[in-house]
Amino acid sequence: MHRREVLRLLALSSALPAIPADLLAAFREVHPALPAAPALKAFNPHQNATVIAMSDLIIPATETPGAKDVRVNEFIDHIVADWFTDEERAGFLAGLDEVDVHTQNLFQKTFVDASPMQQSEILRSLGDEMAAAAAAVANDRRPYRGAVPEPRSNFYLMFRQLTLTGYFTCEVGFTQQLHEEIIPGRYDSCVPFDQSASPKGA
């Protein structure tokens, strides 16, 4: 599947199980490509710390690892660096930086330096904006009408979808959290989807 189609479907899907299996397989293949040692491609260190803090609030560690533990920040960094156009990447990074602007306006500190309660308040605010953006997409009120929504204008929607997708397509999220098969076949992120869906030795 072409990357542009992958991003379009991701942006327009309201829930992970609604995303087609071949799209999920495309994201699943990202995880084994991550380097053994963290190596940022799109984010600077502060942006990366912000992504870690935001994604870990969306999926915190409980009895199973959270977003930070399974390197969701690196998954998002990879997608933004290699799958987005230059314009989309710039818009996404601007949206990420605006999280700090919003936090500074409310609490006189960056998102990373804010307390967990303050960070949660910021995410609730972004969630309200996300709901409004999602409603606009559903009602075709946006000028793109079916194209990929602009990452800056729809930042938190894309961020949340990337966080959920990055988590639930990694081995831990898929095998320990979902407890069901949203992608046919065994979990094997190191082989193409059509092979992993086939019986062993087929």
CA distance 101 to 85: 24
Is 193 inside a domain boundary?
Answer: no
Is 196 inside a domain boundary?
Answer: no
Is 166 inside a domain boundary?
Answer: yes
Query: Residue 166 sits in which domain range?
Result: 3-32+44-180
Is 191 inside a domain boundary?
Answer: no
**pLDDT of 180 over the 90 cut:** no
pLDDT on residue 177: 56
Is 198 inside a domain boundary?
Answer: no
pLDDT on residue 138: 61
By percentage, how much of the chain surpasses pLDDT 70? 62
pLDDT on residue 148: 45
Is 76 inside a domain boundary?
Answer: yes
- Residue 31 near residue 191 (C-beta atoms within 8 A): no
Is 192 inside a domain boundary?
Answer: no
How many domains does the structure of the chain reveal?
Answer: 1
pLDDT on residue 114: 97
**Dmax of the chain from CA atoms?**
60
Is 200 inside a domain boundary?
Answer: no
Give the pLDDT band (50/70/90) at residue 136.
low
